[in-house]
Chains A and B, each alone.
Chain A
Amino acid sequence: MPKLTLQYEGRLLKEYSVGVGLTIGRSPDNAVIIDNPAVSGHHARLFSESGAVILEDLNSTNGTFVNGQHTTRRMLRSGDVLLIGKHHLVFEQTQEWSVAPPQLPALGDTVYLDTQQHRALRASLEETRADVQTRQAQKAPAPRRIGVLQVIAGRADETEYDLDAHTSLIGKSQDALVRLHGWFKPAVALAIARGSDGYVATPMGGRTTINNEPLDRRQALQDGDVLNVNGLVLEFRWKDATATESAA
Protein backbone atom coordinates (compact mmCIF):
# COMPACT_ATOMS: atom_id res chain seq x y z
CA MET A 1 0.00 0.00 0.00
CA PRO A 2 1.59 3.31 -0.99
CA LYS A 3 1.72 6.02 1.66
CA LEU A 4 2.67 9.66 1.98
CA THR A 5 4.42 11.15 5.00
CA LEU A 6 3.94 14.87 5.54
CA GLN A 7 6.98 16.60 7.00
CA TYR A 8 7.74 20.20 7.86
CA GLU A 9 11.28 21.35 8.65
CA GLY A 10 12.31 17.78 9.39
CA ARG A 11 9.40 17.08 11.74
CA LEU A 12 6.98 14.32 10.86
CA LEU A 13 3.45 15.72 10.88
CA LYS A 14 1.16 13.03 9.58
CA GLU A 15 0.94 9.85 7.49
CA TYR A 16 -1.57 9.27 4.72
CA SER A 17 -2.48 6.15 2.85
CA VAL A 18 -2.66 6.89 -0.87
CA GLY A 19 -5.27 4.25 -1.71
CA VAL A 20 -6.68 4.83 -5.18
CA GLY A 21 -5.69 8.48 -5.03
CA LEU A 22 -5.84 11.67 -3.01
CA THR A 23 -5.67 15.42 -3.39
CA ILE A 24 -3.27 17.82 -1.72
CA GLY A 25 -4.05 21.50 -1.05
CA ARG A 26 -5.05 24.26 1.33
CA SER A 27 -8.86 23.83 1.05
CA PRO A 28 -10.50 21.65 3.70
CA ASP A 29 -11.94 19.26 1.10
CA ASN A 30 -8.49 17.84 0.34
CA ALA A 31 -7.28 14.56 1.79
CA VAL A 32 -3.93 16.12 2.62
CA ILE A 33 -4.57 19.62 3.95
CA ILE A 34 -1.57 21.95 4.17
CA ASP A 35 -2.57 25.25 5.70
CA ASN A 36 0.08 27.49 4.26
CA PRO A 37 -0.30 30.54 2.00
CA ALA A 38 2.28 29.11 -0.45
CA VAL A 39 -0.03 26.17 -1.15
CA SER A 40 -2.90 26.49 -3.63
CA GLY A 41 -6.46 25.51 -2.75
CA HIS A 42 -6.21 22.36 -4.84
CA HIS A 43 -2.50 22.03 -5.39
CA ALA A 44 -1.83 18.53 -6.68
CA ARG A 45 -3.29 15.07 -6.81
CA LEU A 46 -2.09 11.49 -6.76
CA PHE A 47 -3.89 8.70 -8.51
CA SER A 48 -3.02 5.14 -9.33
CA GLU A 49 -3.00 3.79 -12.82
CA SER A 50 -2.28 0.15 -13.65
CA GLY A 51 -0.27 -0.36 -10.50
CA ALA A 52 1.72 2.87 -10.70
CA VAL A 53 1.07 6.01 -8.67
CA ILE A 54 1.07 9.20 -10.68
CA LEU A 55 1.47 12.72 -9.37
CA GLU A 56 -0.27 15.54 -11.18
CA ASP A 57 0.08 19.22 -10.42
CA LEU A 58 -3.33 20.97 -10.59
CA ASN A 59 -2.02 24.22 -12.08
CA SER A 60 -0.83 25.38 -8.69
CA THR A 61 0.56 28.88 -8.27
CA ASN A 62 3.89 27.88 -6.79
CA GLY A 63 4.34 24.51 -8.45
CA THR A 64 5.14 21.00 -7.28
CA PHE A 65 8.65 19.61 -7.06
CA VAL A 66 9.74 15.98 -6.98
CA ASN A 67 13.29 15.37 -5.78
CA GLY A 68 14.03 19.03 -6.48
CA GLN A 69 12.67 18.97 -10.03
CA HIS A 70 9.66 21.00 -11.09
CA THR A 71 6.96 18.57 -12.13
CA THR A 72 3.59 18.80 -13.76
CA ARG A 73 2.99 15.07 -14.02
CA ARG A 74 5.08 12.00 -13.35
CA MET A 75 5.09 8.48 -12.09
CA LEU A 76 6.23 8.24 -8.49
CA ARG A 77 8.75 5.74 -7.26
CA SER A 78 9.27 4.69 -3.70
CA GLY A 79 11.46 7.19 -1.87
CA ASP A 80 10.51 10.17 -4.01
CA VAL A 81 10.27 13.41 -2.02
CA LEU A 82 7.58 15.92 -3.03
CA LEU A 83 7.97 19.58 -2.15
CA ILE A 84 4.79 21.63 -1.93
CA GLY A 85 5.29 25.09 -0.51
CA LYS A 86 7.68 24.46 2.35
CA HIS A 87 6.24 21.05 3.20
CA HIS A 88 7.88 17.80 2.22
CA LEU A 89 5.87 14.74 1.39
CA VAL A 90 7.76 11.45 1.25
CA PHE A 91 6.22 8.83 -1.00
CA GLU A 92 6.76 5.22 -0.05
CA GLN A 93 5.56 2.07 -1.72
CA THR A 94 5.34 -0.58 0.97
CA GLN A 95 4.69 -4.21 0.22
CA GLU A 96 2.11 -6.05 2.24
CA TRP A 97 2.74 -9.42 0.73
CA SER A 98 6.01 -10.98 1.74
CA VAL A 99 6.18 -14.36 0.01
CA ALA A 100 3.56 -14.52 -2.70
CA PRO A 101 3.99 -11.81 -5.33
CA PRO A 102 0.83 -10.15 -6.60
CA GLN A 103 -1.37 -11.65 -9.25
CA LEU A 104 0.71 -13.25 -11.94
CA PRO A 105 -1.10 -13.39 -15.23
CA ALA A 106 -1.93 -16.53 -17.11
CA LEU A 107 0.67 -18.51 -18.99
CA GLY A 108 1.58 -16.87 -22.24
CA ASP A 109 1.48 -13.35 -20.88
CA THR A 110 4.57 -11.23 -20.99
CA VAL A 111 5.21 -9.97 -17.47
CA TYR A 112 7.85 -7.61 -16.21
CA LEU A 113 9.04 -7.63 -12.61
CA ASP A 114 8.79 -4.06 -11.51
CA THR A 115 7.76 -3.99 -7.87
CA GLN A 116 10.16 -2.98 -5.16
CA GLN A 117 10.63 -6.52 -3.91
CA HIS A 118 11.38 -7.74 -7.40
CA ARG A 119 13.88 -4.97 -7.87
CA ALA A 120 15.65 -6.18 -4.75
CA LEU A 121 15.52 -9.74 -6.08
CA ARG A 122 16.99 -8.66 -9.41
CA ALA A 123 19.74 -6.79 -7.63
CA SER A 124 20.59 -9.77 -5.43
CA LEU A 125 20.65 -12.07 -8.46
CA GLU A 126 23.05 -9.71 -10.19
CA GLU A 127 25.25 -9.69 -7.12
CA THR A 128 25.32 -13.46 -6.83
CA ARG A 129 26.20 -13.73 -10.48
CA ALA A 130 29.01 -11.22 -10.11
CA ASP A 131 30.26 -13.10 -7.04
CA VAL A 132 30.24 -16.38 -8.93
CA GLN A 133 32.22 -14.76 -11.72
CA THR A 134 34.74 -13.27 -9.32
CA ARG A 135 35.16 -16.57 -7.53
CA GLN A 136 35.71 -18.38 -10.80
CA ALA A 137 38.23 -15.75 -11.80
CA GLN A 138 40.09 -16.23 -8.52
CA LYS A 139 39.96 -20.01 -8.65
CA ALA A 140 41.75 -20.11 -11.96
CA PRO A 141 44.29 -17.32 -11.68
CA ALA A 142 45.23 -15.54 -14.86
CA PRO A 143 43.77 -17.84 -17.49
CA ARG A 144 43.41 -14.71 -19.53
CA ARG A 145 44.89 -15.90 -22.73
CA ILE A 146 44.11 -14.29 -26.00
CA GLY A 147 44.70 -15.53 -29.49
CA VAL A 148 47.08 -13.78 -31.83
CA LEU A 149 47.70 -14.02 -35.52
CA GLN A 150 51.32 -13.76 -36.50
CA VAL A 151 52.14 -12.82 -40.06
CA ILE A 152 54.45 -15.39 -41.63
CA ALA A 153 54.34 -14.35 -45.27
CA GLY A 154 52.52 -11.85 -47.41
CA ARG A 155 51.70 -8.18 -47.30
CA ALA A 156 50.20 -6.87 -44.06
CA ASP A 157 50.28 -3.69 -41.96
CA GLU A 158 51.51 -5.36 -38.77
CA THR A 159 53.53 -8.39 -37.84
CA GLU A 160 51.13 -9.59 -35.17
CA TYR A 161 47.41 -9.06 -34.53
CA ASP A 162 45.69 -9.52 -31.16
CA LEU A 163 42.29 -11.16 -31.51
CA ASP A 164 40.71 -9.24 -28.65
CA ALA A 165 37.38 -8.29 -30.29
CA HIS A 166 34.28 -10.47 -30.46
CA THR A 167 34.67 -10.72 -34.20
CA SER A 168 37.91 -10.10 -36.06
CA LEU A 169 37.68 -9.73 -39.80
CA ILE A 170 40.32 -10.34 -42.42
CA GLY A 171 39.77 -8.58 -45.73
CA LYS A 172 39.83 -5.32 -47.60
CA SER A 173 37.03 -3.80 -45.51
CA GLN A 174 37.99 -0.85 -43.34
CA ASP A 175 36.42 -2.62 -40.37
CA ALA A 176 38.83 -5.50 -40.83
CA LEU A 177 41.48 -6.15 -38.20
CA VAL A 178 43.83 -7.65 -40.75
CA ARG A 179 43.64 -5.53 -43.89
CA LEU A 180 44.29 -7.28 -47.17
CA HIS A 181 45.84 -5.20 -49.89
CA GLY A 182 45.85 -5.58 -53.62
CA TRP A 183 43.48 -6.21 -56.47
CA PHE A 184 40.80 -8.87 -56.44
CA LYS A 185 40.92 -9.22 -52.69
CA PRO A 186 37.50 -9.70 -51.03
CA ALA A 187 36.02 -7.18 -48.59
CA VAL A 188 35.80 -9.89 -45.98
CA ALA A 189 37.70 -13.09 -46.58
CA LEU A 190 37.58 -14.66 -43.13
CA ALA A 191 35.86 -13.93 -39.84
CA ILE A 192 37.26 -15.13 -36.54
CA ALA A 193 34.70 -15.21 -33.75
CA ARG A 194 35.80 -15.24 -30.15
CA GLY A 195 33.79 -17.54 -27.93
CA SER A 196 34.00 -18.33 -24.25
CA ASP A 197 36.40 -21.20 -24.82
CA GLY A 198 38.27 -20.30 -27.98
CA TYR A 199 38.19 -18.98 -31.49
CA VAL A 200 36.20 -20.16 -34.48
CA ALA A 201 37.15 -19.27 -38.04
CA THR A 202 34.36 -18.82 -40.59
CA PRO A 203 35.35 -18.56 -44.26
CA MET A 204 33.51 -15.79 -46.08
CA GLY A 205 34.44 -14.36 -49.44
CA GLY A 206 38.02 -15.43 -49.84
CA ARG A 207 40.09 -18.48 -50.58
CA THR A 208 41.33 -19.73 -47.26
CA THR A 209 43.31 -22.79 -46.36
CA ILE A 210 44.09 -24.06 -42.91
CA ASN A 211 47.20 -26.21 -42.55
CA ASN A 212 47.11 -26.57 -46.35
CA GLU A 213 43.56 -27.93 -46.31
CA PRO A 214 40.82 -25.81 -47.87
CA LEU A 215 38.65 -24.18 -45.20
CA ASP A 216 35.05 -24.27 -46.38
CA ARG A 217 33.16 -24.44 -43.12
CA ARG A 218 33.40 -23.16 -39.57
CA GLN A 219 36.35 -24.54 -37.70
CA ALA A 220 37.75 -24.03 -34.22
CA LEU A 221 41.32 -22.75 -34.25
CA GLN A 222 44.08 -24.69 -32.51
CA ASP A 223 47.40 -23.38 -31.29
CA GLY A 224 49.82 -23.46 -34.21
CA ASP A 225 47.25 -23.56 -37.00
CA VAL A 226 48.53 -21.92 -40.16
CA LEU A 227 45.99 -19.98 -42.18
CA ASN A 228 46.48 -18.87 -45.75
CA VAL A 229 43.96 -16.13 -46.54
CA ASN A 230 44.22 -15.11 -50.19
CA GLY A 231 47.99 -15.30 -50.11
CA LEU A 232 48.52 -13.88 -46.64
CA VAL A 233 49.96 -16.56 -44.37
CA LEU A 234 49.13 -16.27 -40.69
CA GLU A 235 49.87 -18.47 -37.72
CA PHE A 236 47.35 -18.68 -34.88
CA ARG A 237 48.88 -18.85 -31.41
CA TRP A 238 47.69 -18.48 -27.85
CA LYS A 239 49.31 -15.70 -25.90
CA ASP A 240 49.25 -15.05 -22.18
CA ALA A 241 47.67 -11.60 -22.08
CA THR A 242 48.60 -10.80 -18.47
CA ALA A 243 52.30 -11.39 -19.12
CA THR A 244 52.45 -8.91 -21.99
CA GLU A 245 50.49 -6.33 -20.00
CA SER A 246 52.85 -6.42 -17.08
CA ALA A 247 55.81 -6.29 -19.46
CA ALA A 248 54.34 -3.24 -21.14
Chain B
Amino acid sequence: MRLRVGAGTHTGRVRDINEDAYMLRADDGLFIVCDGMGGAPAGEVASRIAVEAIVRELGQPVRGVRLQPDRSGRGGAAATTPAYLPHTNRLADVVRRSNEVIYDQAQKDPRQTGMGTTLVGAWIRQQVVGIAHVGDSRAYLWHDQRLEPLTRDHSLGEAHIAAGRLEELRRMPVEYQQALVRVLGRDPEVDVDLKEVPVQAGDYLLLCSDGLTRMVPEYVLARTFHEWREPQRICDALIAAANNHGGADNITVVVVEVTGGWWRRLSNRWARSARRGQYAEANVAV
Protein backbone atom coordinates (compact mmCIF):
# COMPACT_ATOMS: atom_id res chain seq x y z
CA MET B 1 0.00 0.00 0.00
CA ARG B 2 1.28 3.43 -0.90
CA LEU B 3 0.01 6.89 -0.14
CA ARG B 4 -0.10 9.92 -2.37
CA VAL B 5 -0.72 13.17 -0.59
CA GLY B 6 -1.99 16.60 -1.54
CA ALA B 7 -2.36 19.50 0.83
CA GLY B 8 -3.06 23.18 0.85
CA THR B 9 -4.06 26.00 3.13
CA HIS B 10 -5.51 29.40 2.31
CA THR B 11 -6.36 32.42 4.43
CA GLY B 12 -9.65 32.82 2.65
CA ARG B 13 -11.14 36.03 1.38
CA VAL B 14 -12.19 37.64 4.65
CA ARG B 15 -9.54 36.97 7.28
CA ASP B 16 -6.18 38.69 7.52
CA ILE B 17 -4.27 35.82 9.05
CA ASN B 18 -4.34 32.08 8.73
CA GLU B 19 -4.89 30.38 12.08
CA ASP B 20 -5.01 26.88 10.58
CA ALA B 21 -2.07 24.53 10.69
CA TYR B 22 -1.45 21.16 9.11
CA MET B 23 1.18 18.50 9.22
CA LEU B 24 2.03 15.73 6.78
CA ARG B 25 4.26 12.78 7.47
CA ALA B 26 3.48 10.64 4.48
CA ASP B 27 6.21 8.11 5.26
CA ASP B 28 4.63 7.39 8.63
CA GLY B 29 1.10 7.76 7.31
CA LEU B 30 0.38 10.56 9.79
CA PHE B 31 -1.69 13.62 8.91
CA ILE B 32 -3.02 16.43 11.12
CA VAL B 33 -5.24 19.45 10.51
CA CYS B 34 -5.78 22.08 13.23
CA ASP B 35 -7.94 25.19 13.24
CA GLY B 36 -6.78 27.64 15.91
CA MET B 37 -9.03 30.08 17.69
CA GLY B 38 -8.75 32.84 20.24
CA GLY B 39 -7.81 35.79 18.05
CA ALA B 40 -4.37 36.99 17.02
CA PRO B 41 -1.85 35.95 18.01
CA ALA B 42 -3.25 33.22 20.21
CA GLY B 43 -5.17 31.27 17.55
CA GLU B 44 -2.21 30.86 15.28
CA VAL B 45 -0.09 29.89 18.24
CA ALA B 46 -2.49 27.23 19.51
CA SER B 47 -2.78 25.36 16.22
CA ARG B 48 0.98 25.39 15.73
CA ILE B 49 1.66 24.27 19.28
CA ALA B 50 -0.74 21.39 18.79
CA VAL B 51 1.02 20.21 15.65
CA GLU B 52 4.50 20.67 17.12
CA ALA B 53 3.57 18.96 20.37
CA ILE B 54 2.24 15.96 18.47
CA VAL B 55 5.39 15.65 16.36
CA ARG B 56 7.53 15.96 19.49
CA GLU B 57 5.49 13.50 21.53
CA LEU B 58 5.52 10.92 18.76
CA GLY B 59 9.31 11.12 18.75
CA GLN B 60 9.31 10.21 22.44
CA PRO B 61 9.29 6.62 23.60
CA VAL B 62 5.90 5.38 24.72
CA ARG B 63 5.29 6.48 28.29
CA GLY B 64 2.45 4.18 29.10
CA VAL B 65 -0.78 4.84 27.27
CA ARG B 66 -3.39 6.49 29.43
CA LEU B 67 -6.88 5.53 28.54
CA GLN B 68 -9.74 7.96 28.14
CA PRO B 69 -10.93 9.21 31.54
CA ASP B 70 -14.36 7.82 32.26
CA ARG B 71 -16.60 10.81 32.84
CA SER B 72 -19.90 9.02 32.43
CA GLY B 73 -19.96 8.02 36.07
CA ARG B 74 -21.18 4.64 34.91
CA GLY B 75 -18.31 2.27 35.29
CA GLY B 76 -20.07 -0.38 33.26
CA ALA B 77 -20.10 1.69 30.10
CA ALA B 78 -16.32 1.99 30.09
CA ALA B 79 -15.87 -1.70 30.71
CA THR B 80 -17.79 -2.59 27.57
CA THR B 81 -16.12 0.03 25.35
CA PRO B 82 -14.43 -1.85 22.54
CA ALA B 83 -10.69 -1.59 22.18
CA TYR B 84 -8.78 0.28 19.50
CA LEU B 85 -5.63 -0.73 17.66
CA PRO B 86 -2.32 0.35 19.24
CA HIS B 87 -1.64 3.17 16.78
CA THR B 88 -5.07 4.70 17.34
CA ASN B 89 -4.53 4.67 21.09
CA ARG B 90 -1.10 6.20 20.64
CA LEU B 91 -2.53 8.98 18.47
CA ALA B 92 -5.21 9.70 21.07
CA ASP B 93 -2.55 9.81 23.75
CA VAL B 94 -0.36 12.35 21.97
CA VAL B 95 -3.42 14.48 21.19
CA ARG B 96 -4.28 14.53 24.89
CA ARG B 97 -0.71 15.51 25.70
CA SER B 98 -0.81 18.33 23.17
CA ASN B 99 -3.94 19.55 24.95
CA GLU B 100 -1.95 19.79 28.17
CA VAL B 101 0.85 21.67 26.42
CA ILE B 102 -1.54 24.29 25.00
CA TYR B 103 -3.41 24.60 28.28
CA ASP B 104 -0.22 25.10 30.29
CA GLN B 105 1.09 27.71 27.90
CA ALA B 106 -2.23 29.55 27.94
CA GLN B 107 -2.10 29.68 31.71
CA LYS B 108 1.43 31.10 31.67
CA ASP B 109 1.00 33.86 29.13
CA PRO B 110 -1.94 36.23 29.63
CA ARG B 111 -1.87 37.29 25.99
CA GLN B 112 -2.65 33.72 25.06
CA THR B 113 -5.28 33.09 27.68
CA GLY B 114 -8.23 31.31 26.20
CA MET B 115 -6.51 30.09 23.08
CA GLY B 116 -7.58 26.77 21.70
CA THR B 117 -7.62 24.71 18.56
CA THR B 118 -9.65 22.03 16.87
CA LEU B 119 -7.84 18.96 15.65
CA VAL B 120 -8.43 16.11 13.30
CA GLY B 121 -5.64 13.61 12.95
CA ALA B 122 -5.32 10.44 10.91
CA TRP B 123 -2.72 7.75 11.28
CA ILE B 124 -2.70 5.06 8.63
CA ARG B 125 -0.97 1.86 9.63
CA GLN B 126 -1.54 -1.65 8.40
CA GLN B 127 -4.21 -0.28 6.09
CA VAL B 128 -6.34 0.92 8.97
CA VAL B 129 -6.89 4.65 9.49
CA GLY B 130 -7.04 5.68 13.12
CA ILE B 131 -8.85 9.00 13.46
CA ALA B 132 -8.57 11.31 16.48
CA HIS B 133 -10.91 14.25 16.54
CA VAL B 134 -11.73 17.26 18.73
CA GLY B 135 -13.83 20.19 17.52
CA ASP B 136 -15.27 20.86 14.07
CA SER B 137 -12.44 20.01 11.71
CA ARG B 138 -13.59 16.95 9.82
CA ALA B 139 -12.44 13.73 8.24
CA TYR B 140 -14.16 12.03 5.29
CA LEU B 141 -13.46 8.85 3.40
CA TRP B 142 -14.11 8.66 -0.32
CA HIS B 143 -14.82 5.00 -0.87
CA ASP B 144 -16.62 3.28 -3.71
CA GLN B 145 -17.96 6.52 -5.22
CA ARG B 146 -19.29 7.69 -1.89
CA LEU B 147 -18.11 10.30 0.56
CA GLU B 148 -18.51 8.97 4.11
CA PRO B 149 -18.16 11.33 7.06
CA LEU B 150 -15.82 9.85 9.68
CA THR B 151 -16.30 12.50 12.36
CA ARG B 152 -19.17 14.32 14.01
CA ASP B 153 -18.53 17.92 15.01
CA HIS B 154 -18.33 18.76 18.68
CA SER B 155 -20.75 21.61 18.19
CA LEU B 156 -23.79 22.72 20.11
CA GLY B 157 -26.01 21.60 17.22
CA GLU B 158 -24.57 18.08 17.11
CA ALA B 159 -24.74 17.89 20.91
CA HIS B 160 -28.46 18.66 20.73
CA ILE B 161 -28.95 15.98 18.10
CA ALA B 162 -27.08 13.43 20.22
CA ALA B 163 -29.21 14.39 23.22
CA GLY B 164 -32.39 14.12 21.17
CA ARG B 165 -33.38 17.74 21.78
CA LEU B 166 -34.55 18.44 18.27
CA GLU B 167 -37.19 21.02 19.21
CA GLU B 168 -34.63 23.26 20.84
CA LEU B 169 -32.29 22.75 17.93
CA ARG B 170 -34.92 23.94 15.48
CA ARG B 171 -35.26 27.23 17.32
CA MET B 172 -31.52 27.77 17.57
CA PRO B 173 -29.80 30.28 15.28
CA VAL B 174 -27.23 28.72 13.00
CA GLU B 175 -24.25 30.46 14.58
CA TYR B 176 -25.19 28.91 17.93
CA GLN B 177 -25.46 25.47 16.36
CA GLN B 178 -21.92 25.85 15.11
CA ALA B 179 -20.48 26.97 18.44
CA LEU B 180 -17.99 24.42 19.72
CA VAL B 181 -18.44 22.48 22.92
CA ARG B 182 -15.03 20.83 22.85
CA VAL B 183 -11.59 22.08 21.75
CA LEU B 184 -7.95 21.45 22.61
CA GLY B 185 -6.31 23.74 25.13
CA ARG B 186 -9.25 25.22 27.01
CA ASP B 187 -9.50 22.64 29.77
CA PRO B 188 -6.81 20.66 31.56
CA GLU B 189 -8.29 17.44 30.19
CA VAL B 190 -10.07 16.68 26.96
CA ASP B 191 -12.08 13.78 25.57
CA VAL B 192 -10.74 12.74 22.18
CA ASP B 193 -13.16 11.02 19.81
CA LEU B 194 -11.66 8.03 18.06
CA LYS B 195 -12.58 6.01 15.02
CA GLU B 196 -11.02 3.30 12.92
CA VAL B 197 -11.66 2.56 9.28
CA PRO B 198 -9.93 -0.01 7.10
CA VAL B 199 -8.89 1.46 3.76
CA GLN B 200 -8.34 -0.13 0.39
CA ALA B 201 -6.48 0.93 -2.70
CA GLY B 202 -8.58 3.53 -4.48
CA ASP B 203 -9.84 5.13 -1.28
CA TYR B 204 -9.20 8.79 -0.52
CA LEU B 205 -9.04 10.35 2.91
CA LEU B 206 -9.98 14.01 3.34
CA LEU B 207 -9.04 16.08 6.39
CA CYS B 208 -10.25 19.66 6.41
CA SER B 209 -10.96 22.68 8.56
CA ASP B 210 -14.45 24.15 8.84
CA GLY B 211 -13.45 26.87 6.36
CA LEU B 212 -14.08 24.22 3.71
CA THR B 213 -17.13 22.43 5.06
CA ARG B 214 -19.06 25.59 6.02
CA MET B 215 -18.62 26.98 2.53
CA VAL B 216 -18.87 23.92 0.31
CA PRO B 217 -21.75 21.44 0.49
CA GLU B 218 -20.87 17.76 0.71
CA TYR B 219 -22.15 16.89 -2.75
CA VAL B 220 -19.65 19.33 -4.22
CA LEU B 221 -16.88 17.67 -2.20
CA ALA B 222 -17.97 14.29 -3.53
CA ARG B 223 -18.10 15.59 -7.09
CA THR B 224 -14.60 17.04 -6.80
CA PHE B 225 -13.20 13.64 -5.79
CA HIS B 226 -15.07 11.98 -8.59
CA GLU B 227 -13.81 14.50 -11.11
CA TRP B 228 -10.12 14.82 -10.25
CA ARG B 229 -8.78 11.64 -8.59
CA GLU B 230 -5.41 13.33 -8.03
CA PRO B 231 -4.74 14.42 -4.42
CA GLN B 232 -3.12 17.81 -5.09
CA ARG B 233 -5.65 18.71 -7.77
CA ILE B 234 -8.50 17.78 -5.45
CA CYS B 235 -7.01 20.06 -2.77
CA ASP B 236 -6.61 22.96 -5.14
CA ALA B 237 -10.12 22.49 -6.50
CA LEU B 238 -11.63 22.32 -3.01
CA ILE B 239 -9.84 25.46 -1.83
CA ALA B 240 -10.94 27.29 -4.97
CA ALA B 241 -14.51 26.10 -4.37
CA ALA B 242 -14.46 27.36 -0.77
CA ASN B 243 -13.24 30.76 -1.91
CA ASN B 244 -15.86 30.88 -4.65
CA HIS B 245 -18.53 30.18 -2.03
CA GLY B 246 -17.39 33.08 0.15
CA GLY B 247 -14.11 32.08 1.77
CA ALA B 248 -15.24 33.43 5.14
CA ASP B 249 -12.69 31.45 7.13
CA ASN B 250 -9.26 29.93 6.72
CA ILE B 251 -9.36 26.83 4.55
CA THR B 252 -7.09 23.85 5.04
CA VAL B 253 -7.38 20.64 3.06
CA VAL B 254 -5.34 17.44 3.20
CA VAL B 255 -6.15 14.65 0.76
CA VAL B 256 -4.52 11.22 0.99
CA GLU B 257 -4.93 8.70 -1.78
CA VAL B 258 -4.40 5.06 -0.99
CA THR B 259 -2.87 3.55 -4.09
CA GLY B 260 -2.36 -0.04 -5.00
CA GLY B 261 -0.10 -1.36 -7.72
CA TRP B 262 0.44 0.17 -11.16
CA TRP B 263 -2.62 -1.61 -12.60
CA ARG B 264 -4.84 0.11 -10.06
CA ARG B 265 -3.44 3.54 -10.89
CA LEU B 266 -3.86 2.84 -14.56
CA SER B 267 -7.49 1.80 -14.21
CA ASN B 268 -8.11 4.88 -12.07
CA ARG B 269 -6.68 7.11 -14.76
CA TRP B 270 -8.67 5.35 -17.40
CA ALA B 271 -11.82 5.76 -15.35
CA ARG B 272 -11.18 9.44 -14.98
CA SER B 273 -10.67 10.13 -18.66
CA ALA B 274 -13.72 8.05 -19.52
CA ARG B 275 -15.93 9.92 -17.08
CA ARG B 276 -14.63 13.42 -17.59
CA GLY B 277 -17.29 15.87 -18.65
CA GLN B 278 -20.19 13.67 -17.72
CA TYR B 279 -19.82 13.59 -13.96
CA ALA B 280 -23.10 15.44 -13.49
CA GLU B 281 -25.01 12.39 -14.70
CA ALA B 282 -22.83 9.88 -12.92
CA ASN B 283 -24.23 8.35 -9.77
CA VAL B 284 -22.26 10.35 -7.24
CA ALA B 285 -23.62 9.74 -3.80
CA VAL B 286 -22.85 11.64 -0.63
Set of chain A residues within 8 Å of B106, measured between Cβ atoms: 75
Q: Give which listed residue, B37, B127, B162, B246, contacts A129 with CB less than 8 A.
A: B162
Interchain CB contact under 8 A, A128 and B163: yes
* Of listed B127, B162, B173, residue having the most chain A CB within 10 A: B127
Q: How many inter-chain residue pairs (CB < 8 Å) link A and B?
A: 149
Which residues in window 132-165 of A have CB below 8 A to B? 132, 134, 144, 164-165
**0/1 per residue, B26-53, Cβ < 8 Å to A?**
0000000001011100100000000000
Interchain CB contact under 8 A, B176 and A112: no
A49-B110 contact, Cβ under 8 Å, with A108-B248, A125-B160:
yes
A205-B113 contact, Cβ under 8 Å, with A112-B179, A114-B186, A125-B163:
no
A139 to chain B, nearest CB (A): 14
**0/1 per residue, B1-13, Cβ < 8 Å to A?**
1000000000000
A164-B165 contact, Cβ under 8 Å, with A112-B116, A193-B197:
no
A113-B179 contact, Cβ under 8 Å, with A144-B80, A169-B126, A175-B86:
yes
Interchain CB contact under 8 A, A167 and B84: yes
Which residues in window 105-122 of A have CB below 8 A to B? 105-114, 118, 121-122
| CB of B82 closer than 8 Å to a CB of A | yes
Set of chain A residues within 8 Å of B173, measured between Cβ atoms: 104
Residue of B nearest to A130 (CB): B72
Set of chain A residues within 8 Å of B108, measured between Cβ atoms: 73
Interchain CB contact under 8 A, A165 and B85: yes
A113-B127 contact, Cβ under 8 Å, with A52-B114, A175-B85:
no
A11 to B147 CA separation, bound complex (whole angstroms): 63
Set of chain B residues within 8 Å of A50, measured between Cβ atoms: 38-39, 42, 113-114
Interchain CB contact under 8 A, A110 and B118: yes
Set of chain A residues within 8 Å of B113, measured between Cβ atoms: 49-50, 52, 54, 75
5 more contacts with CB within 8 A, not counting A122-B181, A187-B126, are: A111-B180, A129-B164, A165-B84, A193-B197, A204-B198
Seen from chain A, the residues whose Cβ lies within 8 Å of a Cβ on chain B are: 47, 49-52, 54, 56, 73-75, 101, 104-114, 118, 121-122, 125-126, 128-130, 132, 134, 144, 164-167, 169, 171, 173, 175, 187-188, 191, 193-194, 202-205, 217-218
